[in-house]
């Protein structure tokens, strides 16, 4: 394979790798549960052109925002202006090539109580706060449950789990007296990164893109440098520098030179009148 074809192959491979970067789905409000009629915004972070928001429901698979009669699409974002319990499901981002992001499970409640809990896994060792909400302004006194077992009562509706561990994973819900209880939401706990923890997703993506650009442009920079070096070497070889070195005369050469001067002097004298 000639160098030009190899460079083209590297270029196309790099473009393909960069075009399938891993996107990350975020949701606002950042809660796994929302009330009916609330506005929900989903966004594909760190996504290139063409990524869209999709969802799975119990009776519908891989429905695309703005295409399959739900949500309003704007590039890599999707907005549900007035959520409905039928909007409950699993959401993710997907590229035209079929690459997918993380998934988020959203529950839209038609009741009067919801549990605000993280939509993404939390890191082992972090503090996590679960909030029991009603449609009232202030969170009420609430009982919190894990896997169907009562944990404790919180008078302000906020329950904080300090330094969460894998044992804290499970299904959580809350109950407000005379108001009812919320749906259940799963709390997932991820292992704490090692001391040499990798950078966040956004930094990883930035590093990956820099590597992609280096892979694409380094062969061209190297080729250019090589061509310039060859040209300079050829230019130097076609016009070599000429130097003249003057060496001193030896004694024999000096004697011959003196005899020659004497002969020339005699000849000049004889022709004088």
**Which residue matches tokens 């790798």?**
17
Residue 85 sits at the vertex; the CA angle it makes with 79 and 86, to the nearest 5 degrees, is: 75
Instruction: Give strand pairing partners of 54.
Output: 64, 92
Could you read off the pLDDT of 245-266 as tens digits, one per residue? 444 545 444 554 555 455 455 4
Helix/strand/coil (H, E, C) string of 158-178? Answer: EEEECCCCHHHCEEEEEEECC
Residue 164 tokens, joined: 């969460």
pLDDT at 241: 46
Report residue 140's pLDDT band, with 50, 70 and 90 as the boundaries: confident
Q: Name all domains of the chain by residue range, CATH numbers in brackets.
A: 111-192 (2.60.40.10)
DSSP 41-59: EEEEET--TT-EEEEEETT
**Mean pLDDT confidence for 23-41:** 95
- Name residues whose C-beta falls within 8 Å of residue 121's C-beta, 6 or more positions apart in sequence: 188, 189, 190
Q: Is the pLDDT of residue 269 over 60?
A: no
Could you read off the pLDDT of 194-248 as tens digits, one per residue? 765 555 555 555 655 667 556 555 565 566 666 667 767 666 655 444 444 444 5
Of 1-5, 76-80, 101-105, 229-233, least confident by mean pLDDT is 1-5
**Mean pLDDT confidence for 8-24:** 52
Compute the distance between CA of residue 133 and CA of residue 137 in angstroms, rounded to an integer. 9
Report residue 272's pLDDT band, with 50, 70 and 90 as the boundaries: very low
Compute the distance between CA of residue 225 and CA of residue 218 in angstroms, rounded to an integer. 10
């Amino acid at each position: 394979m000639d160098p030009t074809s190899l460079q083209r192959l590297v270029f196309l491979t790099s473009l393909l790798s960069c075009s399938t970067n891993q996107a990350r789905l975020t949701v606002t409000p950042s809660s796994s549960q929302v009330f009916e009629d609330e506005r929900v915004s989903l966004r594909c972070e760190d996504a290139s052109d063409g990524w869209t928001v999709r969802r799975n429901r119990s009776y519908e698979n891989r429905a695309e925002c703005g295409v399959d009669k739900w949500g309003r699409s704007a590039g890599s974002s999707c907005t549900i202006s007035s959520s409905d319990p039928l909007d409950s499901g699993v959401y993710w981002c997907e590229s035209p090539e079929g690459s997918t992001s993380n998934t988020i499970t959203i529950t839209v409640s038609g009741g009067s109580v919801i549990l605000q809990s993280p939509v993404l896994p939390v890191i082992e060792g972090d503090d996590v706060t679960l909030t029991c909400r009603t449609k009232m302004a202030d969170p009420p006194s609430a009982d919190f449950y894990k896997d169907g077992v009562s944990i404790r009562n919180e008078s302000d509706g906020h329950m904080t789990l300090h330094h969460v561990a894998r044992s804290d994973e499970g299904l959580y819900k809350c109950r407000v007296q005379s108001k009812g209880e919320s749906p259940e939401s799963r709390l997932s706990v991820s292992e704490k990164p090692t001391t040499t923890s990798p950078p966040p997703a956004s930094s990883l993506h930035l590093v990956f893109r820099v590597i992609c650009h280096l892979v694409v442009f380094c062969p061209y920079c190297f080729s250019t440098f090589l061509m310039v070096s060859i040209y300079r070497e050829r230019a130097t070889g076609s016009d070599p520098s000429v130097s003249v070195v003057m060496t001193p005369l030896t004694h024999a050469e000096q004697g011959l030179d003196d005899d020659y001067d004497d002969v020339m002097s005699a000849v000049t004298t004889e022709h004088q009148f």
